[in-house]
Amino acid sequence: MSSAELAELSDKLMLSTVVLYIVAMVAYAADLGFRRRPATAETEAGTEAKAEAKVLVGARSGGAGGDAEAGAEATADTADSAKAGRDETTENRRVEWARLAIVLNVLGWGAHLGVLVTRAAAASRWPWANMYEFLTAIAFAAVTAFLVVMWRFGARFLGAFVMLAAVVALGVANIWLYNSVGPVVPALNSYWIAIHVSAAIVATGAFTVAGASTILYMLKTRQEARGKAGEGVWAHIPATAALDRLAFRVTTFAFPIWTAAIIMGAIWADEAWGRYWGWDPKEIWSFITWIGYAAYLHARATAGWKGRRAAILSLVAFAALLFNFFGVNYMFQGLHSYA
């Protein structure tokens, strides 16, 4: 295939990716909204008490009265069985929402990978040399990180939120940031783009998943304070401690990669511009982001910070990360023109 045909195929795969992600997002949301609420201890205790009462009534029953009561019990048992059958059918339908969401998510991920591969083949370079490609790659990294976290920790509840972020990112990339396939500036003709930028993309995708978990933690905490944490969708979101722990684990994975990206960026800067550090706006805000996440991890490791205080630090660092990507690229002039 020619470069033009590969570029066209990449654009078509992008459309397929967005459609699949949107439908997967709706399916994840349906799974959260329609999933059967887990039985509480009170409900289980009530069921046990009802069963015990039936046994006692049956033991005291005799004669015609006993037959009548036995018939009533049989009728009640039949009703309970019918209700159980309805519940089982409903539960099966709800499980199908989850399966549909995951299947669509994986198909969308495959199409998303195709976008990057065909774009790279069309340009004969790594496919993250401009804002459109960079944001597309970050969205791919975020979805990949979510799939790994879902497989490793069973965090299916994050699906709707990560898919929403991916859809918004791809929408922004296609509507406002789209660039046709073309050559790159001379400074980018280096193998460092495969190392430095790849590390930044992977770390940003993981930080996005950690940020989604932290935001859910803050929202769940608010619902708990209002006494509504067990109602509606919030009944299917894990406890705040689990959300806090998940955000910490993902951040712990992403932070060393972000650190490596900064170090390798400095080495590349020395090769390209003759200095390791030049106080370029992108360099400054990358370092500010690093300080934010370092403070978060340090506070948890040494001061034992957990919960709300740690979550606030994490969100400040995530806000710096977002500003580093969006704000710096449009508000400041610097050497990182590829972004």
Domain locations in the chain as residue ranges? 185-339
Residue with tokens 């976290």: 149
Q: Are 135 and 201 in contact (CB under 8 A)?
A: no
- The position carrying tokens 């994490």 is 314
The whole-number pLDDT of residue 39 equals 46
147 Cβ partners below 8 Å, 6+ apart? 105, 106, 109
What is the separation, in whole angstroms, between the first and last Cα of the chain? 28
**pLDDT for 269:** 84
Q: Can you give the pLDDT at residue 144? A: 97
Model pLDDT, residue 67 = 54
As a whole number of angstroms, the distance between CA 30 and CA 233 comes to 10
Q: What is the CA radius of gyration of the chain?
A: 26
pLDDT for 185 equals 72
Maximum pairwise Cα distance, the chain:
101
* pLDDT at residue 295, rounded to an integer: 95
Buried b (16+ CB within 10 A) or exposed e, 137-158: bbbbbbbbbbbebbeebebbbb
Q: Helices marked H in the chain — which ranges?
A: 3-34, 41-60, 63-123, 131-153, 159-175, 192, 198-225, 240-273, 281-302, 308-322, 328-331
Rounded mean pLDDT for each run of 10 residues along the chain, 339 residues in total: 91 97 96 69 44 46 50 53 54 70 97 97 89 94 97 93 96 92 75 89 96 95 84 86 94 97 90 82 92 95 84 96 85 58
pLDDT value, residue 247: 95
The pLDDT assigned to 142 comes to 97
Residue 304: φ, ψ to 5°: 70, 25
- Tokens 């069921």 correspond to what residue? 47
Amino acid 276: pLDDT: 85
How far apart are alpha carbons 143 and 164 in whole angstroms? 10
